[in-house]
Amino acid sequence: MWRVVAVLLLFLGASAQAQVGRQLVETVEGPDGQPRRVLFLLPPDPVAAVLLFPGGDGVVGLGTTGFVRHEDNFLVRSRDLWRSENLAVALPDTAGAASLLGHRSSADFADTAASILARLRVLTGKVPIFLVGTSQGSTGAANLAASLPSGRIAGLILTSPITQKNAGGETIYDGHPDRIAVPSLIVVHAADTCRIAPPGEAAKIAATLAQAPRHDILRIEAPSPVRGPTCGPFAPHGYLNAEGTTVRQITAWMRDVIH
């Protein structure tokens, strides 16, 4: 179930409006009955759509007008870059600001994410939809991809996936990658020194995607400084200063998949 809590129509002139389109904030209820807000960025004629799974605790702090309180995460702060590639975007918050740490590999999480995916499908029609996760969020994206029937999504992108046990209690392997049967891309930054997400593990993750019709690895080489914890958003782990390059290269892979 969903309801619109805010609609922002941006009238910025013909050329700007063609790029920006609509912004919606809706409340989507999962099988648990708990409401969570979802930000939808909808270009007039998108070539594809992305459902984003932020990392960390997953809390975005999304207001009814589209204001985002917690901007740090790579996927949160790059949301307009995805839209600039003519992609529709869905960015969900958590219910009641509850942490998702330790819950992203659960059946309940997948069921709730599937409800958000269903709403994105209604809003975007028949365009291909990709799931994009980062860090801890990659586990959630993988879990949803593994649980969906054939044909629901066009592909899966896992950026900076967690492979080592950690305080959150989950790794990408808890997201059932062996059950994923859609084209999949593993993205790592070559300079990532996060101890629980070493870039060298990408090949091991790819080996578990035995059912995927294709699985590729993308290594980002663009300069990215460390301005905080190595596993945080302001480091190569979060593609700091490399957001544009990363989004463009992922989008190029997506276009190759759908064409």
Domain extent, residue 107, equals: 2-258
Side chain identity at residue 174, one-letter code: D
Q: Which of 24, 175, 38 is nearest to 94 (CA)?
A: 38
What is the residue-level pLDDT of the chain in tens, covering all 259 positions? 545 444 443 333 333 444 468 999 999 998 888 999 999 999 999 999 999 999 999 999 999 999 999 999 999 999 999 999 999 999 999 999 999 999 999 999 999 999 999 999 999 999 999 999 999 999 999 999 999 999 999 999 999 999 998 888 899 999 999 999 999 999 999 999 999 999 999 999 999 999 999 999 999 999 999 999 999 999 999 999 999 999 999 999 999 999 9
Its pTM stands at 0.93
CA distance 46 to 126: 10
Whether the CB-CB separation of 150 and 124 falls below 8 Å is answered with no
Could you tell me the CATH number of the domain that includes residue 98?
3.40.50.1820
DSSP 83-104: HHTTEEEEEE--GGG---TTTT
Provide the number of structural domains found in the chain. 1
Q: Is 189 helix (H, G, I), strand (E, B) or coil?
A: strand
Strand 215-220 to 2-9 pairing: unpaired
**CA gap 170, 137 in Å, rounded:** 10
- Angular region, 228: left φ>0, alpha ψ -120 to 50, beta rest: left
